[in-house]
A and B are shown apart, each in its own frame.
Chain A
């Protein structure tokens, strides 16, 4: 556990030691604002709810989370520090967990900094704060799932651009797997159970359930299992690369 903590602290400090953290947070907040106020017409709808705001999280995460995740392993491979990391007396899973948790905490910080909009909506009207809390929890879990995917992809390459592009594509597939585009494609030929399975992997569906204020255990379990699965894949990838 102490080694996870050491890795976690180093990684988190690394974000703030470079402009990366500040650039990311500013762009994240700016994009959130732009989507919510201009495209989502937050004021014009005249509803005291953050549904519009949370609705765009899926699409923002799709690009911004792989941007955080792409460096996790690819950068270490490029700079050679992975050789140092993997020859320190800690298990691979501790490095994987420490890195993931630091990146997740970082996205958590960025997400938490959107709090002014929560205050605004409370000032303007009388929103259901329970729903908003649930939405924040759901959004954070979803970010974790995107991040776990990106981290596993990052472990396969020393090229951050490749890590980013492949991560975005895979995250996109998980995002839209419940959308008519995908479901219809499978419906034409696949048995119903397969269609349902594919659709059940949709981040959008699971997030929207939570964002409605319904914290269903199944949705929580879904995100946590996905995170665990991809962190497991991450460990396996790092380990397999040792064979050369």
Chain B
């Protein structure tokens, strides 16, 4: 278990900046998800942590020791690639032994370490197989065992679930969660899939354009996005964004309450929304429409409980209230979050 600190880390390729000043600090034994769209620099960040790429500037420390310039094999960091990168001409057993042999672990310890990794992941029956005789889920478990066998201080996962079928993915996600709970090895988990990040991460670092936009718990990212990027990236549907002059208001779809159900109308903002489309999602409805009072073009999404679906029709105008604490304000130019106070007045006008 180790604490990873990243300070002002940068990486350029010629004129292209892949990572543009990242600061991060993990807590001991946590699972930190790095979430971002493709091209946001998350994989480059991961490769620098593994030692596969050299940073252009900045520092990386593991438990206080800088690892910049130290080759991958001298860092006690294990990485699981998207492709799993199992050695195709070796059996599962030889694959798992490879890091031990490479690190010159005495032969006497091999059996014990392999047994532990193999039993932790429940792959004893696969030991003599070749990688091309394994299913996607089995490959992942073998890759995890090979990473685990060295007892690493830090685990790096690069999109480990994206090569799996949808059904297997849910099971594999639960297994990862379980594995982390048992080993408590500090883990960085790179993904572009927010469901994975929200479901697995103790905390999430949202990256875009080579920078960390926000670091926080899944709840904090969802309810308190730090800027417009996070607001529009996290959540499905993403946060509604309403332009009000210099300010952008962000409201989650489920925070619109029909007027007749609202408890304290006096502390809320009122929106008259003309509904133009309804979507039935089973447990709920999504209603799409435009703010009648607003002068902007942005379409709003409102989440309605299942029971209200029959009371709303496309073409109707309905009044919704949003409690003030649920309205987040952002600066229209910088995209940064603003203090809420005072903004409510603007919204009223």
Q: Tell me, yes or no, whether A binds B.
A: no
- On A, residues with C-beta under 8 Å from B are none
- On B, residues with C-beta under 8 Å from A are none
